[in-house]
Amino acid sequence: MRTRPTRDDTREKLFEAAAQVFEERGIGAASIEMIAAAAGFTRGAFYSNFESKDDLIVAMLEDHVERSLQHHRRLLERHLNPTDFVAALRATERSRQDPLGRAPLLHMELILFVARSEKRRPELAQRLRARRKLVADIVTATTRETAGGEVRNPAWASSMLLALEDGFRLHRLIDPDSTPADSFFRAVGELQKLVE
Amino acid sequence: MRTRPTRDDTREKLFEAAAQVFEERGIGAASIEMIAAAAGFTRGAFYSNFESKDDLIVAMLEDHVERSLQHHRRLLERHLNPTDFVAALRATERSRQDPLGRAPLLHMELILFVARSEKRRPELAQRLRARRKLVADIVTATTRETAGGEVRNPAWASSMLLALEDGFRLHRLIDPDSTPADSFFRAVGELQKLVE
DNA sequence: GCAACTCGATACAGTTATGTATCGAGTTGC
DNA sequence: GCAACTCGATACATAACTGTATCGAGTTGC
């Protein structure tokens, strides 16, 4: 006899379906009905798992942040050498597990969603600053190791790198051919030449 | 006796109001009613000037593109020296006339809007390529003049610059303090050091 | 094995949007 | 100065989405 799916299974399926529908039609144009149907449920299932669309979005975002964090932690544990870390990051970039990692349009839309939310913006800003700090450290370490010099201003290099990452992501949405997928990593190499 | 406002006046007011409402609440959450009311009209006025919300958005985008083009043409005419051109661009950056230039959140959302539209994406891609070409030329010229060297790969430098511009714009939405408004122009200076 | 519980389905009420049809005040041409 | 026209206001029909209340099949505890 078929066992009833667990609550976590249902939530997971709704995450997947929501990411897909959001990616295809945009957050605004996606209705609860569409998301539930794409997951093979009705709206009843949705409302028994989430309070509202906003609730779902916040949950998705937290899920994504959590997975990203764990992913980076795992990489850092396995690849203590910073050069290897960048290489590993590059290699795993394409095969991300969470729904959000595979949906660049949605990724951007979620940033705007948060940017518009007075309540959640500080949280994301904090996260951005933390990432900037981490990247600054990595840049310093890798540059010292590979180029044998010091980056003049790691914080600034880090700002540029993260802006580049999202900038390339954005432009690839409009014209996928224009900026190859590894543009970001190439930029890392370029910026390492700015040593003294 | 007060003369009746002309059609162009009304359209202009609706543009302004739409930019404001879109910026505040997002394209999806903005209704025709809100836009019309913000402009001091009712929905009747809107529908006698535009076919739909999509029609308005496309018109806004074309208006913005047209103004930007004219702005750059004027700058190029007055400042034939490329260094002066960049300086002039920097000086006029903040005092743009069109509604869209003053609404960074909307600016981003419109990029996503177009990215999602199978029909209009190629058009924007074309425009992105054209800008990249223009920037490549400017980079080559300014670098030759100010640094006395050649940029190794102008096309790549141009890609990076444009990605940086939009990347900074995006991050400033989340954390305005993190990346100062002139980050892009500073980046131009940094990249000019990548000459050989 | 039965009682309590969980969770998805269904039905309903209420809200809000869109687009169209019609009206009327103000404007322009001759 | 009057007829034709323009354009914004109002009213109406329609569609879609949300959230809640209720139901029932399946599951679990004891």
Domain assignments of chain A as residue spans, ordered by start: 53-191
Nucleotides in C strand less than 7 A from protein CB: 6-11, 16-22, 26-28
Distance from C-alpha of A7 to C-alpha of A20, rounded to nearest angstrom: 20
**B104 touches A: beta carbon within 8 Å:** no
pLDDT band of B100, cuts 50, 70, 90: confident
User: Which nucleotide shows the minimum CA-to-C1' distance to residue B40?
Assistant: D8
For residue B180, give the chain A residue with the closest CA.
A159
Measured over the CA atoms of residue B13, residue B181, residue B174 and residue B127, the dihedral's sign is: positive
- How much is the pLDDT for B99? 80
- How much is the pLDDT for A112? 92
Measured from the CB, is A43 under 7 Å from any atom of strand D? yes
Which of A30-39, B80-89, B165-174 comes out lowest in average pLDDT? B80-89
Q: What is the pLDDT of residues B18-31, one digit of tens each?
A: 999 999 999 999 99
Max avg pLDDT among A127-131, A186-190, B167-171? B167-171
Mean pLDDT of B1-21: 79
- How much is the pLDDT for B57? 93
Mean pLDDT of B135-157: 76
pLDDT band of A64, cuts 50, 70, 90: confident
Q: Is the pLDDT of residue A184 over 80?
A: yes
3-state secondary structure of B187: helix
3-state secondary structure of A151: strand
Measured from the CB, is A8 under 7 Å from any atom of strand D? no
Which of A83-92, A110-119, A156-165 comes out lowest in average pLDDT? A83-92
Residues of A in contact with B171 (CB under 8 A): 128, 159, 162-163, 166
- Residue A101 CB neighbours (<10 A): 18
pTM, entire model: 0.85
- In angstroms, what CA-CA distances link B189 with A46, A139, A157, B73, B193? 52, 20, 13, 23, 7
